[in-house]
Chains A and B, each alone.
Chain A
Amino acid sequence: MTRRRRSIALTATAVAIALGATACGGSSSTSGSGSPAKGGTLTVLDHADFDHLDPQRVYTTEGSSMDQELVRTLTGWDETGSTPKLVGDLATDTGTPSANDTVWTFHLRKGVDWQDGTPVTSQDVKYGVERTFSPDINGGPPYASQWLVGGSTYKGPYKGKELASIQTPDASTIVFHLNQPVADFNQTTAMPGWSGVPKAHDTGATYDTHVWSDGPYMIKSYTKNKELVLVRNTHWKQSTDPIRQQNVNEIDVQLGQDQSAIDQQIKSDAGTAQTSIMQWPIAGSDLTTITNDPSLKSRLYNIPAPGINYLAINTTRTKNVKVRQAIEYAIDKTTVRGAFGGSAYGDYASTMLSPGIDGYQKFNLYSTNPAGDLTKAKALMKQAGDPKLTMSLAVENTPTLEHFGDAVKTSLAKIGITVNITPIDAANYFSNIDNVKNQYDLTWGDWIADWPNASTVLPVLFDGRQIAKLPQSNQDLSYLNDPAVNAQIDKIAKMTDVKQADAAYGALDQQIMKDAAVIPLMYMKFSDLAGSKVGGVISDPILAEPSLVHVYVKS
């Protein structure tokens, strides 16, 4: 999943930092729990518009988080406890798999209605999922077309065709036939795309601004790139929804202000800023000032993402594993993390799976000191014959990533590797490096899991067969194509015992790290700020967003 924090931030917020020193002795009320107040308007200040709100097209954390207010998915995450718990949302429970996990059945709750009062049916959900296949409904995750039988040739419902592998034996039952066992399919169905769309209200490619609601809020008005206003959906019933509440009267999302101006405004806590919250993370240049300000602590959300920030070594260009291991030891993660904003950005990583992800095992095959181990690194380079190497490093052309590039360059200079930094236009960075025509020796990347399971991390980042299959969107940045790893990926995919699969993924993570194809850098965290009168915000570690499902404003 993408957190679109990558677009241009107009740089250099000297002002915000300079002012931070003097500013803000403002009152900070405790945002303790207590019973939520009803009424009022929540303002959401977002740096840019959502990629999509159409549930079948959305693939960013901001958009998915906002969609939770509008649409109900088959399953969902109850995040009120210490760890997120998968529950039935539109469905009565988390689904029933067949013996080999290839057929999944969900029963819909009674009493869930659309915004016009008509009941949500299994046909609506089938139609919604089928939309994913149309080329007009683009941008969303690939899982439906990957897994549903017949998905590779189906082109969507607009020409009157249905997908036979989604069956609706009655109005409240839906059955999915998959072409392979998927043990965590019911976690996939917590993504926005696995929701209903009533055919009569589908506006196709323009559905973004016309999303038909079965959640607690519905669209009152939506002007792209300007403003989205959500109001209560009177047909939503608390009794049918285990995840959401309906506290505020209105959610007013204002789109398009510069992130630093948003940071400054919410920090000041003046006027409407008291009832405002942001969905995009605090700008890198403001991060340290804000996270170090004790008066802001009660309204700062430092949310761990199920994701990893890493450096990939192209294994087809640097074939000698000794050199790759030397790089593992040589990278100084303290300076690298400094480039991203310091400790608030996240903990040092030693594995590709992050702690919130099922399958995570704690291990560290390389330097235990985050600053690196130059002695070991130099020894490994010696074993490799002390080659004098020059390597290209691809980074985004943003100040943060260019500082990161400098940190890597300095680290590797110490073991005799000269690094040439190649900055790439940030908007096109991923389409550039994901294209197999563009190969760099070293590539920066980050990845957020689509749901908190190793199955949306390791196979995506290390299945080498995608290099040939997806030449324009290859996520295997290290070009690792290890038959043993590929075979293990296939083997785990067939496991129906989730615990067994988790353990196997943990072992696979170690196996991959032995190849020294990637250097895990940080387990990312994202920081967002809210006004002092915003209550009920839940740190959502699945989307790495401040979840608004229980949000209220204090009077």
Chain B
Amino acid sequence: MLRYLIRRLLAAVAILLVITVITFVIFFALPSDPALLACGKTCSPSRLAEIKHSLGLDQTFLKQFWEFFKGLFVGRDFGDESVHIHCGAPCLGISFQTDTPVLTTLLDDFPADLSLGLGAAVFFLILGVGLGTVAAVRRGKAADKAAVGLALLGVSVQIYFVGLLLLYLFVDKWQILPASGYTPITQDPGAWFQGLILPWFTLVIVYLALYTRLTRSSMLEVFAEDYMRTARAKGLSSQRVVLKHGLRAAITPIITIFGMDVGSLIGGSAVITESVFGINGIGKLAVDSVQNSDLPVILGTTLFAATFVVLANVVVDVVYGLIDPRVRLA
């Protein structure tokens, strides 16, 4: 088990390294020039060269990569002529746009994504698996059709549509909930919860569909297995058959998907939801950084999200072993 974990973690580090290289390469292949964007509307070639120098963009690709890589372990000092900024290890660089250390911004934004992603995940996992199980048990009956229909509706509507509709109804028209926005839980747990109800609901609607359908088909597959017939023949209650023998076997593929979804959600993939509800999370940060050609932030958000997806995968593999005795980690 321990050896397996170490091996997986080493592989994870390798993947992150590869992602860093790829992001760097893509950035340098792009036609946009952050120095030019920083320079303003009328920019003489000499001024442009000065700004390039002050952003460190006049150095070679390899040198820039090495500086970044080194910074991850030993930190960096940014000697802008006007101000001295120390960026401690692990240093992801300093934003071209805001002149703040990228890691600070990421950690600042992270609680919002964590609240949004984890909260929504709990709901859509429980509801999705529940609905899917009901649909599988009552296959072909009204409950099945309702669950599948609901799922289809959910997967068809756009977050952008649902989000604005919910805002209009609950905030603007009925005024049940306060105008959106994220309040840290440490500041006011009540406001934190109220502000997240609609974003959670939006994400649940969209993700619910996937989990319902996945659970349903996975369950149906398991129901057809021999051991299920054996379990029933032994005279076990149908509740026990479905939950203990059926669901436990059916849940493994769902855990896989769930792990990746949660990883990417808390890593900032809920960008549209963030934008509609005015939650300033890592997703929005990533989109803005691409717009502004802000390499350090692009790298930071990419690495951050990748870290969570990779970690979630490791966790999933471990959980596999716990849920399904057939999987042995060696």
Query: In the complex, are the beta carbons of A208 and B98 less than 8 A apart?
Result: yes
Q: Contacts A256-B278, A431-B33 given: A135-B179 contact, CB under 8 Å? A: no
Which of A140, A223, A256, A430: most chain B CB closer than 10 A?
A256
How far apart sit A255 and B54, CA to CA, in the bound complex (Å)? 28
B99 touches A258 (CB 8 A): no
In the bound complex, how far is the Cα of B41 from the Cα of A8, in angstroms?
19
B64 at the binding interface (Cβ < 8 Å): no
* Residues of the A chain whose Cβ atoms lie less than 8 Å from the Cβ of B275: 10, 256-258
Interface membership of B36, Cβ < 8 A: yes
Nearest Cβ on chain A to B76's Cβ, whole angstroms: 15
Size category of the A interface is: 35 or more
A31 within 8 A of B: no
- B32 and A431 contacting across the interface, CB-CB below 8 Å: yes
Chain B residue, CB-CB nearest to A145: B47
* Complex Cα–Cα for A134 and B54 (A): 10
Q: Contact check, B284 vs A256: say whether CB atoms are below 8 A apart.
A: yes
Known A261-B276, A270-B175, A470-B44; judge A204-B161 contact (CB<8 A): no
Are the C-beta atoms of B50 and A472 separated by less than 8 Å? no
Q: Could you tell me if A268 and B278 are in contact, using CB atoms closer than 8 angstroms?
A: no
Instruction: List residues of chain A with CB within 8 A of the CB of B85.
Output: 206
Inter-subunit contact B285/A205 (CB<8 Å): no
> A471 contacts B81, CB within 8 Å?
no
CA–CA, A273 and B167, complex, Å: 13
- Check A205/B278 contact, CB under 8 A, given A13-B164, A48-B288, A225-B288: no
Point out the residues of chain B lying under 8 angstroms from A470, CB to CB: 42-45
The smallest C-beta distance from B123 to any residue of chain A, in angstroms, reads 22
- Answer whether A7 and B291 are a contact pair too, CB < 8 Å, given A14-B161, A475-B42: yes
Query: B167 is contacted by which of A2, A208, A264, A473 (Cβ under 8 Å)?
Result: A264
Nearest chain B CB to A278 CB, angstrom units: 13
A69-107, CB < 8 A from B: none
Residues of A contacting B178 with CB < 8 Å? 271-272
Interface string of A325-347 (1 = CB under 8 A from B): 00000000000000000000000
**Shortest Cβ distance from residue B27 to the other chain A in the assembled complex, whole angstroms:** 13
Per-residue CB proximity of B85-113 to A under 8 Å, as 1/0? 10000000000011110000100100000
Judge whether A234 is part of the interface by a CB distance below 8 angstroms: no
A253 within 8 A of B: no
Is B68's CB within 8 Å of the partner chain A? no
Task: Let me know if B40 and A272 touch, CB within 8 A.
Answer: no
Instruction: Give the residues in chain B near A258, CB-CB below 8 Å.
Output: 275-276, 278
Chain A residue, CB-CB nearest to B38: A138
A472 vs B54: C-alpha distance in the bound complex, in angstroms? 18
Other-chain contact of B165, A10, A15, A427 (Cβ < 8 Å): A15
B40-A206 in contact (CB<8A): no
Q: How far is the CA of A39 from the CA of B280 in the complex (A)?
A: 29
Q: Give Cα A460–Cα B272 distance, bound, in whole angstroms.
A: 38
- Can you list, as one digit per residue, whether each of A137-179 has a CB less than 8 Å from chain B (1) or not (0)? 1111110010000000001101100000000000000000000
Indicate whether A202 reaches chain B with its CB closer than 8 angstroms.
Answer: yes
Are A264 and B175 within 8 A (Cβ)?
Answer: no
Q: Which of A19, A136, A159, A256 contacts B280 (CB 8 A)?
A: A256
A427 near B173: Cβ-Cβ < 8 Å: no
B172 touches A270 (CB 8 A): yes
List the B residue with the shortest CB-CB distance to A466: B42
Q: Tell me if A203 and B83 are in contact (CB < 8 A).
A: yes
Contact between chains at B164 and A260 (CB < 8 Å): yes
Asked whether A59 lies within 8 Å of B41 as measured between CB atoms, the reply is yes
The residue in chain A whose Cβ has the minimal distance to the Cβ of B164 is A15
Q: Shortest CB–CB separation between residue B206 and chain A, in angstroms?
A: 15
B181 contact set on A, CB distance < 8 A: 254, 257
Chain B residues 139 to 185 lying within 8 A of chain A, measured CB to CB, are 160-161, 163-165, 167-168, 171-173, 175, 178-181
Which A residues between 1 and 57 are near B, CB-CB below 8 angstroms?
1-2, 7-8, 10, 12-16, 19, 23, 48
Alpha-carbon distance between A413 and B148 when the two chains are bound, in angstroms: 50
- What does the 1/0 interface line of A190-221 toward B look like (CB < 8 Å)? 00000000000011111010000000000000
Given that A14-B161, A205-B83 are contacting pairs, would A471 and B284 also be in contact in the complex, using a CB cutoff of 8 Å?
A: no
For B37, the chain A residues whose CB sits under 8 A away are 431
Query: In the complex, A245→B48 CA distance in Å?
Result: 39
Q: Tell me whether A205 and B38 are in contact in the complex, defined as CB-CB below 8 angstroms, given that A257-B277, A470-B43 are known contacts.
A: no
Q: Is B77 an interface residue (CB 8 A)?
A: no
Residue ID in chain A nearest B159 by CB atoms = A10
CA distance A273 to B181 in the complex (A): 13
Contact with B along A253-293 (1 / 0, CB 8 A): 01111101100110110111100000000000000000000
9 closest Cβ contacts across the A-B interface? A204-B82, A268-B172, A204-B83, A257-B278, A135-B50, A427-B291, A473-B43, A15-B164, A136-B82
30 contacts between A and B (CB under 8 A): A7-B291, A10-B160, A13-B164, A59-B41, A134-B81, A135-B47, A135-B50, A135-B51, A135-B53, A138-B54, A140-B40, A141-B41, A142-B40, A142-B44, A158-B82, A204-B81, A205-B83, A206-B99, A206-B100, A224-B97, A225-B284, A257-B181, A261-B277, A271-B171, A273-B179, A427-B291, A431-B32, A470-B44, A472-B36, A473-B43
Measuring CB to CB, which residues of chain A are less than 8 angstroms from any residue of chain B? Answer: 1-2, 7-8, 10, 12-16, 19, 23, 48, 59, 134-142, 145, 155-156, 158-159, 202-206, 208, 223-226, 254-258, 260-261, 264-265, 267-268, 270-273, 425, 427-428, 430-432, 460, 469-473, 475
Beyond A135-B50, A254-B278, A257-B277, 14 additional contacts (C-beta under 8 Å) are A10-B160, A10-B272, A15-B160, A15-B161, A135-B53, A135-B54, A136-B83, A142-B41, A223-B108, A225-B98, A258-B275, A264-B164, A427-B291, A430-B41
